[in-house]
Each structure stands twice: as C-alpha cells, then as structure tokens.
Chains A and B, each alone.
Chain A
Amino acid sequence: MQDITLHITDREGKTHEVLAPTDMNMNLMEVIRSYELAPEGTIGICGGMAMCASCQCYIESENELPEQSYDEEAMLAEAFHVKDNSRLGCQLFVSETLHELKITIAPEE
C-alpha cells in the first residue's frame, strides 16, 4: 500500500504537506496528532469516538468523502465554529480517495 499526501493547515494558518499510510487504519485526527500539528490535549480529546468536536476540520478540496454517520452528524450539530464543509477528522480514515486532500483544522472551542 502506498502512502498518500495530505495538505493540512494548522490553527496558526500554516500549511503542512504530510504523508499518511493507508494500511494502518489511521484517521485524519491521528495523522494530525502524529505530526504534532495541533497541541496534545487540544485534539482527539474523546479518543476518536465522535464524542467531542476537537478534531473538527474544514474540507477544502473536492475529494470524495464517506457519508457522515449519525454520530458524526449529531456531534457536528452540537459543535461550535461549524461550516458547511465541516467534518470530524476522527471519522475520516486514510485511504487512496483522500490523496491530495486539503483540510484546515477548525479553531479550538
């Protein structure tokens, strides 16, 4: 399996081009943490259960994404700083369809 490239803009506005493995069952929240693009304790607080919105991201490319699950939709309904292109990073798993995905990490609540 190949690594894919992601373009992640951090909360300070700096864009990072990073590689993410498609064979490790990783989600975008974990990719962000693994590259330390957001301080520990400010992202992935619930561990990836779609139960907080600390990994909220704005999707800024046209990649095809999986539908929102009920849990993700419900969490985004309660989250702050939500836009039409908001998704929870923990619910988007690294796969070839996410190659060249552009995202911006939403502000901390």
Chain B
Amino acid sequence: MIKTDILIIGAGPTGLFTVFEAGLLKLKCHLIDALPQPGGQCSEIYPKKPIYDIPAFPEVLAGDLVDNLMKQIEPFQPGFTLGERAQTIEKLEDDTFIVTTNKGTKHHAPVVAIAGGLGSFEPRKPPIPNIANYEGHGVAYIIRDPEIYRNKKVVIAGGGDSALDWAIFLSDVASSVTLIHRRNEFRGALDSVDKVQELKDAGKIELITPAQIVDILGDVSVEGVSIKQGEEIFTKECDHFIPLFGLAPKLGPIADWGLEIEKNAIKVNNALDYQTNIPGIYAIGDVNTYPGKLKLILCGFHEATLMCQSAYKRIFPDKRYVMKYTTVGGVEGFDGTKKEAPKAVVKAIN
C-alpha cells in the first residue's frame, strides 16, 4: 500500500504544481496517471505547441512547461503510479481514503486531489454497431501482448503512427496483416509510411484504402469483417480486428465516485477551497466546474495553491499556520536541499 499525504489523480500541469505547493507545507504527494508519462495533455497531445498565457513566460512549449514543473517539484520527491487509471475510492472510518487503480495498486491518503483534466486517455472506439460484443473476443484497441497474434489473420484499422507501427511489427508475427484506412494518405512518420509501402510491395501487408470497416462477423469471436470501399461492401476473413484510432479523454470511473457532476466536470466550492461534495476530496484544474470557471493552466495553479492550504488544515486541524513567501522562507526539499535568497551582507564602513 502506497501511503502519502495528498494523493493526486492526474499528473498534468495542475497535478504537478500541487506537489510544489504541498511541499512548501511539508506535505508529501503521490500522483496516479493513466498515461505512461507525466504532463497530461501537454505531453500527450501538444508537447511541441507554444503556450502564451503562463505568467512571466512570454512563450513556452507545452513539453518544456512540464519539464520545468518536474524540475520545480523534484526537491519534494513525489511518487508516481503511471500507466494506471484510478478506478475505485473507499472512505475509511477515520475519514481517510483508499484509491485503487485498474491494476490493483492501492494508495492510502487523508486527502485526494483530483486533477484529472478532461479525464483519463482511453482508446477511441469506432462506431461499429456490434463492436462491444467482440471486445476480448478478437477485438482489441490496445496491443498488450503481440504474441497472441502469432500465425493469426489480423486486420488493423487506422491511419496514424500506431496503426502503421503495429502493421509493420505484426507483419513478422501474424500469418497475414491487412491495414485499412479511410484515406489513401497516412499521417504517420515518413519512415513508417515508407516501410509499409515496402512491406505492401513485398506482399507482407495488404493495404485496403480508401475503405472502412462497417461490420464485424462471427458467432462469439471475430471471424471476419465487412469492409466498405466506395459503394462496394465485401468480407475479409480474420481472427483479430484491431482498431487504432488514438486516444481520447474520458472522465471514466471517477464519474461513479459519488461526486456531484455538472457539465461533464466535478462541481466544487470555489468560494473556499475547491472541495467537492465529499469532504477530503478536492477537484482542481480542468476537471472541476464552478460559476465563472475557465479551463486554463494558470487557473489550475491558483486552485492547487488554495486547495493545499485547505488540505493542510484538514490533515492538521489543530496546527496554526500562515502562508509564507518562498522569497522569505526559501524552498526546503524533502531530499535535504534548501534553496533560499542570498542573505544581504551587512558591513560597517569605518
């Protein structure tokens, strides 16, 4: 069981900055994120895009913002559970919480801060009417173990990097690989596009474009797919169908935690501390809503700061504390480091 003071769900900019503000109050943080790396949308969707409204940064790339935040919180030694989605929450008798991930990792904390942005990133599922019936029976949106495709007939749909990369990889594993895309052009890395062309010419990948899958066939598991190309619809026999259309954020299991939801976001008390309807659970950043809410990173930073003060009072109800300026108090890391303003040298002139 991982134990911490503030358990942060979501390692985007708001979640990361929470570690800093909590650290100033000597509170330890642990972050859970469904993505394999910290940074949330900034790392996953637009790392190379500039952001212009971070105070005092006339321009900063989203990826650099995350790198800077990671550097800023380093002294506070946050823990990370990455590549796992926060699944369930349980409130114990002592008003602390246990959050368990989809992989069964348990986390125990007196305060939970949901900084989940738009939610956890999950595969986009194509709107094929019967697709859900075949999930786990030949349809998979993520390839976990390529060996299950050995000597099988595989159909992949999609036009991005992951469709191209897996088609290339599986061409050596599966007995046949068919790649289906709605357009003739692919938008993956040039190397991958060239490689697929090469494998197509060598007869190791069958390419069907422009086309799309309109139906899945099979009694219990996948036995084939119906492909629509122009006005023609034909059947392709296969054992596996792998739609790879990238990831999209979903609020996911958090929506079932008993929190008040409004406009696909978690309602919080913004007059005070961004606490939700469940005391001890806060929601900060893009995941929350309140009158006048703006989904901006800079607003997330502000919310994280106020939330940490409230969390401190919740954890230490009897301790008195007032906010201290870092310029005055410096930054004392849990790793023994201390940053502080240089002391003025006072010297008398004789």
Residues of A within 8 A of B (CB): 39-42, 45-47, 49, 51-52, 74, 77-78, 80-82, 109
Select which of B127, B160, B265, B289 is within 8 A of A78 by beta carbon.
B160
Are A80 and B264 also in contact (CB < 8 A) when A46-B45, A49-B49, A74-B187 are? no
| CB-based closest 7 A-B pairs | A41-B264, A40-B263, A74-B187, A77-B183, A80-B127, A77-B159, A78-B245
- Chain A's closest residue to B119 (CB) is A41
B118 and A45 contacting across the interface, CB-CB below 8 Å: yes
| Shortest beta-carbon distance from A27 to chain B in Å | 16
Report how far A52 CA is from B124 CA in the complex, Å.
10
- Which residues of chain B have C-beta atoms less than 8 A from A52's C-beta? 248
Interface of B is mostly: loop
Report how far A81 CA is from B212 CA in the complex, Å.
11
Select which of A40, A49, A82 is within 8 A of B46 by beta carbon.
A49
A45 and B127 contacting across the interface, CB-CB below 8 Å: no
Are A77 and B263 also in contact (CB < 8 A) when A46-B45, A52-B248, A109-B248 are? no
B181 and A77 contacting across the interface, CB-CB below 8 Å: yes
Residues of B within 8 A of A (CB): 41, 45-46, 49, 118, 124, 126-127, 158-160, 181-183, 185, 187, 245-246, 248-249, 251, 263-265, 289, 295
- Which residues of chain A have C-beta atoms less than 8 A from B251's C-beta? 41
Instruction: Contacts A41-B265, A46-B46, A109-B124 known; list 17 others, CB within 8 Å.
Output: A40-B289, A41-B251, A41-B263, A41-B264, A45-B248, A46-B41, A46-B45, A74-B159, A77-B159, A77-B181, A77-B182, A77-B183, A78-B158, A80-B126, A80-B245, A81-B127, A82-B182
| Shortest beta-carbon distance from A62 to chain B in Å | 25
Interface of A is mostly: loop
- Which residues of chain B have C-beta atoms less than 8 A from A77's C-beta? 159, 181-183, 185, 187
- Which residues of chain B have C-beta atoms less than 8 A from A74's C-beta? 159, 187
* Pair count A-B, CB < 8 A: 49
- Which residues of chain B have C-beta atoms less than 8 A from A78's C-beta? 158-160, 182, 187, 245-246
B264 and A40 contacting across the interface, CB-CB below 8 Å: yes
| Shortest beta-carbon distance from A47 to chain B in Å | 8
| Residue among A39, A41, A46, A109 with the highest chain B CB neighbour number at 10 A | A41
Are A51 and B185 also in contact (CB < 8 A) when A39-B264, A45-B118, A45-B249 are? no
- Which residues of chain A have C-beta atoms less than 8 A from B245's C-beta? 78, 80
- Which residues of chain B have C-beta atoms less than 8 A from A82's C-beta? 182
Report how far A52 CA is from B248 CA in the complex, Å.
8
Report how far A45 CA is from B158 CA in the complex, Å.
21
Report how far A77 CA is from B157 CA in the complex, Å.
12
| Shortest beta-carbon distance from B10 to chain A in Å | 15
Report how far A42 CA is from B289 CA in the complex, Å.
15
Report how far A46 CA is from B46 CA in the complex, Å.
9
Report how far A102 CA is from B298 CA in the complex, Å.
36
Select which of B158, B183, B248, B265 is within 8 A of A40 by beta carbon.
B265
| Residue among A42, A80, A81 with the highest chain B CB neighbour number at 10 A | A80
- Chain B's closest residue to A46 (CB) is B45
Report how far A12 CA is from B273 CA in the complex, Å.
37
- Which residues of chain A have C-beta atoms less than 8 A from B249's C-beta? 45
B185 and A39 contacting across the interface, CB-CB below 8 Å: no
| Residue among A40, A49, A77, A109 with the highest chain B CB neighbour number at 10 A | A77
